[in-house]
Structure 1
Amino acid sequence: MTLQLTVITLLVVMLIALWRACIGPNVFDRVLAANLFGTKTVLLIAAISYLHGSPDFLDIALVYALINYISVVGVLRITELRNEHAPGDRRG
């Protein structure tokens, strides 16, 4: 019963993160919400793995966590480079 409540709570938090990613005021808030969504997805996969008694899903969760980390770092790096070369930039 407790694990089902955990899965439902994770789904609610994922919906809130998805909503935040859609309405975020700037790109960094959106990337942070997408990262939160990815992290909660890893937790959801692990909880479902435990719920079904199949540890095979944990490998998928680890791969998804690595992909999530690499993609967030990549998007932030691209955003940083785009902001450095933006026309009208008045920094030093």
Structure 2
Amino acid sequence: MIVARYAVSDPGKAGERSRLLEEHKAYLHGAAIRILLSGPSAPPAEGKGSTAVVIAEVETLAEFEAFSAADPFVRSGVYRSIDLFEWRPTLGLLLEGL
């Protein structure tokens, strides 16, 4: 199954986010799940939190939930909001590789 995480950073946690950035990246690179795409959005507007998306292929949503919960950004509360969901893409060039 294809799953996605859409996360919005808490602007008040910018220092914590900067401090944990390398640990967060290492966690993603060493993930036991198959991450298809991951990355931040364009820089946010003034006073708004930055956003980031992770798209992965997993066996169950619970597997993805456990992966997300262990992310250093999630553990430290860097994200103000996190949405996890199954995604069912039906069109696009990237589908050929799935």
Q: TM-score, normalised by structure 1?
A: 0.30
Higher-RCO chain (CA-CA 8 Å, sequence separation at least 6): 2
The structure that is strand-richer by fraction is: 2
The structure that is helix-richer by fraction is: 1
| Greater C-alpha Rg | 1
